[in-house]
Amino acid sequence: MYHRFDAVIVGAGGAGLMAAAQIADNANVAVISKLYPSRSHTGAAQGGIAAALGNQEEDNWVWHMFDTVKGGDYLVDQDAAEVLAREAIDAVYDLEHMGLPFNRTEDGRIDQRRFGGHTRNFGEAAVRRSCYAADRTGHMILQTLYQQGIKHQVSFFNEVMMLDLLLTDDYVCTGVVGMDILTGEIHVFHAKAVLLATGGFGKVFKVTSNALTLTGDGCAIAFRRGLPLEDMECYQFHPTGIYKLGILLSEACRGEGGILRNDLGERFMERYSPTLLDLAPRDIVSRSIYLEIQEGRGIGGKDYIHLDLTHLPPETVETKLPDIADFVRTYMGLDPVKDLIPIQPTAHYGMGGIPTDVEGRVIVDEHKTVLPGLYAAGECACVSVHGANRLGTNSLVDLVVFGRRAGRHMLQFVRENDIQPMPQEPDFRARAEVARFLENDGHENAADIRVELQEAMMSKAGMFRNGDDLMELEGIIEDLRNRFSHVGVRDKGKTFNMDLVETIETGFLLDIAQAIAVSALAREESRGAHVRDDFPERDDVNWLKHTLAYRTSGGLQLRYKPVALGRFEPKERKY
């Protein structure tokens, strides 16, 4: 089936819906999502969205910018970080005006709380910057933006999975190809502009806070079409995942006063971050947990530690962290008011992704060359405001600030440009891929390959890496890719074929894993979340630069581009 729109947005999370809201009344826009929009993973974000409103105490967007740059271990483009911190304020007011039910202060303003790495006056002490709605801030953002989509009559194509991106030979984007999961039918979306807002790829790791659907679809498809992926080696592990399950327990637990304790009951963060303690940035806290475990101070000598909320007033737990309390009760059978909570770091967020400029336009090389008509925003994009380590709450800021910018720029673009002809047989590749899986009686099972990939990625490209492991990992991924070429789906039907969907997703994960492994092996330093045991120091002389990974016929090729420096000189990172 053929569709024609001014703008097509792929992904109905915070970034996609925020962009759609900018375009809806002025041009015709479609949002396609492999889920119903209200299922998107923005809805799982908990603790808050940072903006220097200063509702609770003095704050300043420059301090927010500084925290973001330092938090990212200086691999942050400072022009983008300035946009992020400056526009966060207006973006949060924008959400409030759309109806977002923030928690309120006594005088009726948006309430704010502390969060990891967010400080006043360039690192002096933690500051109340995170605007929140209990521990369901992401849920409220997703609901509010979906509501706006309904209000502004956006054309939603629910449960349509993107399979291909249409680029002309001279690199102009003309649309996307998707599959209606309900019927198996292939749809071609011809458009002047496309926004990729497909979210993250946490399912490349075994223990993750990410949904089953987060398989890097947009990133992998862009990569296959010859576009680069930036800084894929920078992947964040959130300190407090529920032991074994990986379900996220928000940093807001510590923002509200929660403490991490080892087997001896010690508040061990005193040793690693004397100023910010438990509210140090995530890479530092996750590493500290790991070091405690390595030195035998995990609980009972095992590979987890405790999150302690028992000293907080029960009312704080029940009213400010109600979902967290519910998760702990449901999945662990523990009472967070009385019991210590077993936690371990969980794969959480990809700082890297499809390179863009601050307007959300996709960049194809180290010279800021724009691909006309193609945009990316949210976790699948890399603008780069998170550098080598994202601060808590900044993902939601990223979604609304750069989702909004991308949407506004797209509107301008579709007004100024005519629709370009699509390539011949635009759905050829997508049809061939689907046919290959459905008709191939291959003996390999995608689920087995996925499980092996997730385990290998967790053990060899997780929080601590080294050259030998990463080289071995490259070989494992190559083997898995070979096996994947013999994969067969068991479900051969047309209707709601989730076996086919999961098989296609596994192919995406294999591509993402390769980009991560190759980029991580090359970066011979430790910076932010990327830690090399064999290169334990940050190396600004050689590595203050962004990785660009390309897939070529001769294998993966790495190129590099400089970091946009500015206001803040790289310094040693202490908290």
Angstrom CA distances, 241 to 39, 397, 515, 567, stand at 21, 22, 25, 35
Which of 22, 40, 78, 137 lies at the binding interface for another protein (CB under 8 A)? 40
Q: Is residue 313 within the footprint of another protein (CB under 8 A)? A: no
Distance in angstroms (rounded) separating the CA atoms of residues 97 and 106:
19
Which of 112, 148, 393, 420 lies at the binding interface for another protein (CB under 8 A)? 148
Cβ-based neighbour number of residue 313 at 10 Å: 12
Q: Which stretch binds another protein (CB under 8 A): 98-106, 252-260, 359-367, 541-549?
A: 98-106
Q: What is the DSSP letter of 131?
A: E
Is 282 annotated in the active site? yes
CA 515 from chain centre, in angstroms, equals 16
Q: Is residue 1 within the footprint of another protein (CB under 8 A)? A: no
Q: Is residue 323 within the footprint of another protein (CB under 8 A)? A: yes
Q: Is residue 38 within the footprint of another protein (CB under 8 A)? A: yes
CA 229 from chain centre, in angstroms, equals 14
Share of the chain residues as helix, strand and coil, in percent rounded to the nearest 5: 40, 25, 40
Which of 1, 2, 25, 99 lies at the binding interface for another protein (CB under 8 A)? 99
Nearer to another protein, 148 or 420 (CB): 148
Question: Which residues ranging from 440 to 469 are in contact with another protein (CB under 8 A)?
Answer: 445, 447-448, 451
Distance in angstroms (rounded) separating the CA atoms of residues 13 and 540:
35
Q: Which stretch binds another protein (CB under 8 A): 139-147, 169-177, 353-361, 431-439?
A: 139-147
Q: Is residue 331 within the footprint of another protein (CB under 8 A)? A: yes
Q: What is the DSSP letter of 419?
A: P
**Min separation Cβ 234 and another protein, Å:** 24
Question: Which residues ranging from 333 to 372 are in contact with another protein (CB under 8 A)?
Answer: 333
Q: What is the DSSP letter of 446?
A: H
Q: Is residue 107 within the footprint of another protein (CB under 8 A)? A: yes
CA 346 from chain centre, in angstroms, equals 13
Question: Which residues ranging from 476 to 515 are in contact with another protein (CB under 8 A)?
Answer: 489-491, 493-499, 502
Distance in angstroms (rounded) separating the CA atoms of residues 22 and 29:
10
Per-residue x/- track, 193-222, another protein (CB under 8 A): ------------------xxx---------
Distance in angstroms (rounded) separating the CA atoms of residues 84 and 49:
12
Question: Which residues ranging from 525 to 564 are in contact with another protein (CB under 8 A)?
Answer: none
Helices (H), 206-335: 217-224, 252-255, 269-272, 282-294, 314-320, 322-332
Residue of 128, 261, 282, 573 with catalytic role: 282
Phi-psi region of 277 (alpha: psi -120 to 50; beta: other; left: phi over 0): left
Considering CB under 8 A, how many residues would be counted as binding another protein? 61
The answer to whether 81 and 68 have CB atoms below 8 angstroms apart is yes
> Annotated catalytic sites, by residue?
282
Residue numbers at the binding site for another protein (CB under 8 A) = 35-36, 38-41, 43-44, 53, 92-93, 96-99, 101-110, 133, 136, 139-140, 143, 147-148, 150-151, 182, 211-213, 245, 247, 323, 326-327, 330-331, 333, 445, 447-448, 451, 489-491, 493-499, 502
